[in-house]
Amino acid sequence: MKNITKLLITTFAALFIFAGSANAHVTVKPSTSAPEAWETYTIKVPVEKETATTKVTLKVPEGITFVSYQPVPGWKVTTEGGKDVKTVTWAATEEGISAGQFQEFSFIAQNPKEETKVAWDAFQYYEDGEIVEWSGDEGSALPHSVTQISLAPKADAETSDHGHEDEAATDDSKATDNSKAAATADDDNDNNNETLIITLAVIALILSLVALFAALRKNKR
């Protein structure tokens, strides 16, 4: 029975650790945006350890032009690469991001002219000296975020019949459509992650119960 208890404890501990960290990646949103758009991007940095995050460095993808950043109290921002910014670093001037917390940093960047995919490599620095590199491909243990740069959906026939609208109004409409598309994509990704976690949790529970019943039957014999 002691071995069975250890097995169950180990299984559930691993399950909850995985579930807690499955959505705790460093991410850059939105995941979709339009070519040449002046987009407001946000990097979200959660803490997965029992020690604080004190610095985050983000590599600016090729084709993306970094423009400006939003200041955040308690953080100093530096860039490298001169006019053509290659990296952006947020360094804590106070305690940083504590365990169980997350922090968001926003910045404006202009997208490339052509449709493409851009990858955001990020490096998370912990107070204990560990550096976590979020630079792997999608599906890896430490994936980077990817933004799909694509054209907005074409206007429907009814809208086209009204002719050309004011350019500013058109730009605002495109921006709204892009924001809605990005929000929808982000929600879909979150829902998929939640479904995966629940599925794995159910499978782990079933396997644990099967192992428990098999061990009990064996002991009775």
Please spell the DSSP secondary structure of 117-138, one letter per residue: EEEE-EEEEETTS-EEEE-BPT
Token pair, residue 180, equals: 């809605």
Backbone angles phi, psi at 81, to 5 degrees: 115, 0
**Nearest to residue 112, comparing CAs of 36, 28, 40, 31?**
36
Delineate the domains of the chain, giving CATH numbers in brackets. 2-220 (2.60.40.2230)
Q: For Cα atoms 193, 196, 198, give the angle at the middle one, nearest 5 degrees.
A: 110
**Nearest to residue 149, comparing CAs of 29, 31, 44?**
31
pLDDT of 209 reads 72
pLDDT of 53 reads 98
Return per-residue pLDDT of the chain as tens, 221 residues.
555 555 544 444 444 444 444 457 999 999 999 999 999 999 999 999 999 999 999 999 999 999 999 999 999 999 999 989 999 999 999 999 999 999 999 999 999 999 999 999 999 999 999 999 999 998 899 999 999 999 965 433 333 334 444 444 444 444 445 544 544 555 555 555 555 556 666 676 777 677 766 666 666 66
* Dist. CA 139–CA 208, nearest whole Å: 26
Contact between residue 82 and residue 113 where contact means Cβ atoms under 8 Å apart: no
pLDDT of 220 reads 64
Strand partners, 149: 33, 116
pLDDT of 75 reads 98
Contact between residue 118 and residue 63 where contact means Cβ atoms under 8 Å apart: yes
- pTM reported for the whole predicted model: 0.64
Which positions ≥6 away from 3 have C-beta within 8 Å? Answer: 215
